[in-house]
Structures are given as C-alpha cells and as structure tokens.
Amino acid sequence: MRFRPRPAAARPVAVIGASLLLVLGIFAVSGYDVGAIGAGTIDGSVGSPAAWTQTIRWAIPLLIIALGVGLAFQAGYFNIGAQGQMYVGAIGSLVVGLGWRDGPALVVVPCAFAVGIALGALWSLLPGVLRTRLGADEVVTSLMMNFIAVLLLEWVCTGPLKSRDGTGQAATTDQLPGAFRLSDGSGVSPALLILCALLVAGAVVLTGRTRLGLEIRLVGRNPVMAQWMGIRASRVGLVVFALSGAAAGLAGAVEAYGPSGGLRVGFSPMVGFMAVIVALVGTFGPLRTLLAAVFFGALRAATIYLPVVSDLPQAGLDMLNGMVALWITVSTVPALLRRRRTRAAARAGDPSGGPARRDPEVVNSRG
C-alpha cells in the first residue's frame, strides 16, 4: 500500500518566515519603526520570565484544541467549530463549579471537566452527523455552531450566571471558589503543564500505536481503500468529530478553572480559530503541534506587549496575526485539492475500475 508522504516540516516554517517578513516590510513602508517592533516582539514573547509565562499561558489552550482538530484533519474533515466547542465546554464546567460550591475540590473539578469535555464533544457531533449522514459541508455547519455558542455565552453571562458584583463594563459570571482553581491569573501551573504533557503523549500513542489511529489515517488518505479494508468512514468521522470537540471542551474548562476563574462575554475570542492554524502548521504530528502552539502562543503574547513599546495600532497587530494565518491556510490548498480528487474518485467507485462497497459517508461526501 502506498501512502502520500506527510508535508515537509520545512514548509510551514518557510511560510511563517515569509509572512513575518512581508508584514515587517509593510510596516517599514508605512513609516513604523521596524526595529522597535522586532525588539518588542522578542521582549514580549521570550525576553523575560514573565514573557515566557505569557507565551505558555496562550500555548496551553492552543495545544489542547489543536491536538483534537489535528485528528479531524487527518481523517479528512475540516472542523473549524473549536471556538464554539470551547465556549460550550467552559459554560458546562462552570455551571458545575458554581452549583456545587461546597463540594470537595477533588470531586467537583473532575466532574466539571467531564461535563465540559462531554458538552464539547456533543456540540461537535452535530456537524459530524450532518456531514457523515447527509453530506452537509462541515466547514459551514461547524462555523454556524460557533455563532450559536457565542450567543449562548452572552446569554449565560448576562442572565442566569451573571455576576452581582460586576462593574458594568463587561458582562461576567461569578468567580469560582479559589480551591477549584488550577492556576492563578497567569494561567500557568504544574498541573496544567502535566495535563498538556499527558495529552501530547496520548496523542502520540493514539496516532501511531493504535488501530483507531491507523483507521483515521487511512480514511483521510484513501477512503476507498479504507472501505475495502472494512473500515466505515462514517464511524471514524463521528469519532474524530467527538474527539476534536472533547479537546475543545477541555480547553474551555481549563480557561474557566485556570486564568479566568469565571467567564465573560467574548473571552479568548480567537483561540479556537488560531488553534486551527496551529493544527495546520503542526502537519498532524503531536510533537510538531506542540512546537506550533508555543510559537503562536509567543505571537499572541507579543501582540499583547507591542502596544506598550511601539506606536503600532491594533489594526497592525491584527494584520500580523492575520497574514500568518492567511498564508498558512493558502499553503494547504494543494492538500485540500488532493482530498477533493480522492473524494470524487470515492463517489465514482473504485478508481481502478472495479466495483466498490458504498459507505454512507463516501456516498454523501462532497469533498
């Protein structure tokens, strides 16, 4: 059996480097001090222990979500609903914590995380079912679910869980008891670092040492061949949708019980979307995803710090993030086109001309 080789690790590095150079060139032509921007980027991301803390703080949710999204990518599904899945997981976990304030932390926190993981998985399964059963485009359905989750978060923060001690500047919920918190406001703690290490190790084992990992790769690379081997693409699709949603729900619980200690309207608005880019840069490998999460965590920390040391406006900071995201996405177009050709061949039957058993997902697939 011959498989398509994985994308070279150098490609995302080259794309990121070219994107940063292009953005710096635009800043220079626009009259901004590129030297100050470059120095501020380094100082704000890795230039001090506090900068490293900020980098790791943002890398943690990016890594957790990207590990799950990467599984969906490997199976050939473009689930971009991680932002909404994270919000739903955060809401569910917070409800448990606020409703069980007097419970022991060793019981309440695991239960809260279990609820967050389950709700994230269920929120992701709806686009998964629509994709595998009806052939609905998962990009559209998972994106629409994000908007619903944003509205749900707004309703929760302004309604049933609204804090009575709020300042009125932003709608927030009550804070969790201190005993339930996994970290202080920095968002970094030994417990969270251990959690991330366990997730990376688990992803390595899952993708490289289990039957499910092999099935995910087969379905993503050649659904017809997977069908011949008795693998139901629809079942694998539902599994990866559930796993990616569960990871996003876990990240939401980490945000609620870590740096935030509660929720507010629109918290961490770009983490879910940026995690999709992290998964693309990681080229579906858990260790590469870890490195990509650290890089984008550093980029996030730098964009928070840059306004302090430069006159770069918010639009420039958005362009810095957006340009990297744009070119990383563009660089994946060849792989997406290959996936469409494979799915088209699957709809037509055996590429070599023989009859093929039809799986509902293969029949309903729209590329």
Q: What are the extents of the domains in the chain?
A: 10-364
Least confident among 114-118, 137-141, 360-364: 360-364
Asked if residue 325 has pLDDT above 60, the reply is yes
Mean pLDDT of the chain: 85
- Residue with the larger pLDDT of the pair 331 and 72: 72
- Residue with the larger pLDDT of the pair 282 and 92: 92
Cβ atoms of 93 and 113 closer than 8 Å: yes
- Residue with the larger pLDDT of the pair 251 and 283: 251
Tell me the DSSP string of 32-64: --HHHHHHHHHHHHTSSHHHHHHHHHHHHHHHH
pLDDT for residue 247: 97
Least confident among 63-77, 125-139, 177-191, 311-325: 311-325
Which tens digits make up the pLDDT trace of 18-48?
888 888 888 888 888 888 888 888 898 998 9
Q: Would you place residue 195 in the very low, low, confident or very high pLDDT band (cuts 50, 70, 90)?
A: very high
Q: What does the DSSP 8-state code read for residue 173?
A: B
Q: 10-364 belongs to which CATH class?
A: mainly alpha
pLDDT for residue 167: 56
Asked if residue 173 has pLDDT above 80, the reply is yes
- Residue with the larger pLDDT of the pair 216 and 340: 216
- Residue with the larger pLDDT of the pair 337 and 21: 21
Cβ atoms of 54 and 304 closer than 8 Å: yes
pLDDT for residue 363: 39
pLDDT for residue 365: 41
Which residue intervals of 75-189 are DSSP H helices?
A: 82-99, 105-134, 138-158
Taking the C-alpha atoms of residue 138 and residue 225, their distance in angstroms, rounded to an integer, is 23
Which tens digits make up the pLDDT trace of 49-72?
999 999 999 999 999 999 999 999
Taking the C-alpha atoms of residue 212 and residue 199, their distance in angstroms, rounded to an integer, is 16
pLDDT for residue 225: 82
Which residue(s) pair with 264 in the sheet? Answer: 172
Reduce the DSSP state of residue 214 to 3 states and report it: helix
pLDDT for residue 166: 58
252-266, 279-293, 323-337: which is most confident: 252-266
Taking the C-alpha atoms of residue 37 and residue 42, their distance in angstroms, rounded to an integer, is 9
pLDDT for residue 333: 57
pLDDT mean over 120-140: 93
Cβ atoms of 19 and 327 closer than 8 Å: yes
pLDDT mean over 191-198: 96
pLDDT for residue 142: 94
pLDDT for residue 169: 58
The pTM score is: 0.87
Q: Would you place residue 263 in the very low, low, confident or very high pLDDT band (cuts 50, 70, 90)?
A: very high
pLDDT for residue 114: 97
Which tens digits make up the pLDDT trace of 87-100?
999 999 999 999 99
